[in-house]
Amino acid sequence: MSAYPQITGVHHIGITVTDLDTSVTWYTRVLGARELRRLDIGPMTKALVQLGPVTLGLVSHGRTAAPGPFDEHRAGLDHLSLAVPDTAVLRAWEARLGSAGVENSGIVRGATGALIAFRDPDNIALEFYTLS
Task: Kindly report, residue by residue over 105-128, the tens digit of the pLDDT.
Answer: 999 999 999 999 999 999 999 999
The CATH label, of 2.60.40.60, 3.10.180.10, 3.30.450.20, 1.20.120.160, for the domain at 78-132 is 3.10.180.10
**What is the model's pLDDT at position 73?**
81
Q: If DSSP codes are grouped into helix, strand and coil, which group holds residue 123?
A: coil
- Radius of gyration from C-alpha coordinates of the chain: 16
Return the domain boundaries, the chain: 1-65, 78-132
Contact 127, 72 (CB under 8 A): no
Burial call 98-114: b when 16+ CB within 10 Å, e when fewer: eeeebebeebeeeeebb
Q: How far apart are CA 15 and CA 108, in angstroms?
A: 25
Q: Which CATH code fits 1-65?
A: 3.10.180.10
Do the domains 1-65 and 78-132 sit in the same CATH topology, yes or no? yes
What are the phi and psi torsion angles at 19 (to 5°)? -135, 105
- Where does the chain have alpha helices with state H? 20-31, 87-99
Report yes or no on whether pTM surpasses 0.75.
yes
Instruction: Tell me the per-residue pLDDT of 58-82, one tens digit each, with 9 for 90 and over.
Output: 999 988 888 888 888 887 888 999 9
